Structure 1
Amino acid sequence: MRLQEKVAIITGAASGMGKSEAMRFAKEGAKVVVADLNIDGAEAVVQEIKDNGGQGLAVKVNVTDNADLENMVKTTIDTFGQIDIVVNNAGIFDKYTNSLETTEEQWDLIFNINLKAVYKITNLVLPGMIERGNGTIVNIASIAGLVAQMGGAAYTASKHGVIGYTKHIAAVYASKGIKINAIAPGTIKTPLTEEMLKTRPTNKIPLDRFGNDYEVAELAVFLASDESKFMNGAVVPIDGGYTIV
């Protein structure tokens, strides 16, 4: 098992890519904290993890709320003793809203969830990781952080920010034992997007299909494991080749 006895927090893990990541991490031996605003969904994921012989804990968290984030970290340490891995997966989409149509409130909400929460969670877990001389962070960005027109103004800007922040943390804290990388998914089929994607063409993707959430989870496991120990500050697209054409 590649993550045996590691303790991992995964945000936005009650459904979609986050759920697949939680299930896959648990299968690889990690003790998984399923953090989500949807506590019923989070508890269902934890039950599924336990039914499959894994260990998990559900924590209700609004990633824009400082008290919730502090509680998430404290509860994890109180329960499992430490935090080895964080997957900053929680995020929201802006439905391709252009700048002139984006209100300041929408902009702030998207940035607070997609980018500011990554900064706040990272700052909460970094001291403990640095003290132990070891810690891994995987940030779920997007190909909208690499190219234009895969999201609206706020989403695109926020995901560019996640990538820039990932590189900064790697450059500054690598010598302290911190490994941080970002995943840039393309269009991924999840239970929430499956119906919408039925009418969306795939001809601009060289592999001519959408991705699946379990494929992103496999990449997240690799980046969280020692198999990727010489990778730091990397941004890995998983997009069927969309960004190469």
Structure 2
Amino acid sequence: MDFHLRDKVAIVTGATANIGRAVALDLSAEGAKVVAVGRDAEAGARLVADCKDCGAGEAIFIAADMLDPASPAKILEAAEALGPVEVLVNNIGGNVDQGFFVDSDPAKWMADIDLNFGTVLRMTHAVLPGMVERKSGAIVNVGSTAALVGDYMLPVYSAAKGAVHSFTIVLAKEVGQHGVRVNAVAPYATIPTDPAQLSKGSRFNPENGMFSKGAASVREEDRAIRQRRTFVGKPFASSDEISGLITFLASNRASFITGQVYPVDGGALL
């Protein structure tokens, strides 16, 4: 199926691992000009080579920390050297801390909020004027099922992803009259399709210990509360099972879809 993305410039944040990497490769396979954003230059170089092998019209890597307010302008400038930006995938996100809210450190709240929501606001704010002026564009935000049901022991992360969902809906109302569509995908538990391609900063990288540290403090009662089951024969999605929907929503094949939040959960929320 032709998604009509050939030679369209697409920015993907958090592109060096997991869902972002899969999205960049899917867009490349459709012939898009991919602007991959991340912090790990080594992983970025690997991704660019793989994007070109997949058939990208062009592929470049921009080393940028999305927590830096100056980064969106830098990214946009590099992207526009390839042409007008038609697609933005706001994929950057993750949890800075986990545990019960009563025990949380207020100094860490804003880190979770800024990583998951502030980055979406800033990157969208940079790209949107050009889309509005050209009356063309598609924005896909990566939310989470945590925003729909609340991930146990991830209260601030869940709330921040809820903000991403709400922002998606209201922005779609604002910019639809300008030919710009805005949607979101809410993944459940997702693991990298190719663990060998993890970037240094990925929370899935064992060296960062994000999940092992949290697991050590979880009691059996808490583990039972967190437990969910899927109905598709496996507990997790691979990243390329999420990226296909994102690529579709970014394409003209989804031209009548806007303001929607799509859970991809294997039935876990049933």
Pairwise TM-score range, normalised by the shorter structure: over 0.9
Distance in structure 1 (CA, Å) of the matches to 2:228 and 2:99: 23
Aligned to 2:239: 213
Matched, 1:241 2:243: no
Instruction: Could you list the structure 1 runs, at least 4 aligned residues long, displaced by more than 3 angstroms after superposition.
Output: 192-197, 199-203
Matched, 1:81 2:106: no
Distance in structure 2 (CA, Å) of the matches to 1:173 and 1:138: 14
Aligned to 1:72: 75
Q: Any idea what SS the aligned residue of 1:59 has? A: strand
Distance in structure 1 (CA, Å) of the matches to 2:152 and 2:62: 31
Distance in structure 1 (CA, Å) of the matches to 2:54 and 2:121: 33
Asked if the contact 1:94/1:151 (under 8 Å) is kept, the reply is no
What letter is aligned with 1:28? E
CA-to-aligned-CA distance 1:216-242 (integer Å, 9 cap, x gap):
110111100111111111000001011
Give percent identity, aligned residues only.
31
The root-mean-square deviation of aligned C-alpha atoms, in Å, is 2.1
What is the TM-score when the length of structure 2 is the normalising length?
Answer: 0.84
What letter is aligned with 2:63? K
Aligned positions, number: 242
Gap change, CA 1:64 and 1:133, over 3 Å in 2? same
Aligned to 1:117: 119
Aligned to 1:225: 251
For 1:121-160, what aligned pairs fall within 5 Å after superposition?
121-149=123-151, 152-160=154-162
What letter is aligned with 1:223? L
What letter is aligned with 1:212? S
1:62 corresponds to which of 65, 74, 85 = 65
Asked if the contact 2:25/2:54 (under 8 Å) is kept, the reply is no
Asked if the contact 1:94/1:152 (under 8 Å) is kept, the reply is no
Asked if the contact 2:30/2:55 (under 8 Å) is kept, the reply is no
Asked if the contact 1:186/1:238 (under 8 Å) is kept, the reply is yes
What is the TM-score when the length of structure 1 is the normalising length?
Answer: 0.92
What letter is aligned with 2:185? I
Asked if the contact 1:94/1:154 (under 8 Å) is kept, the reply is no
Asked if the contact 1:64/1:117 (under 8 Å) is kept, the reply is yes
**1:107 positional shift:** 1.1
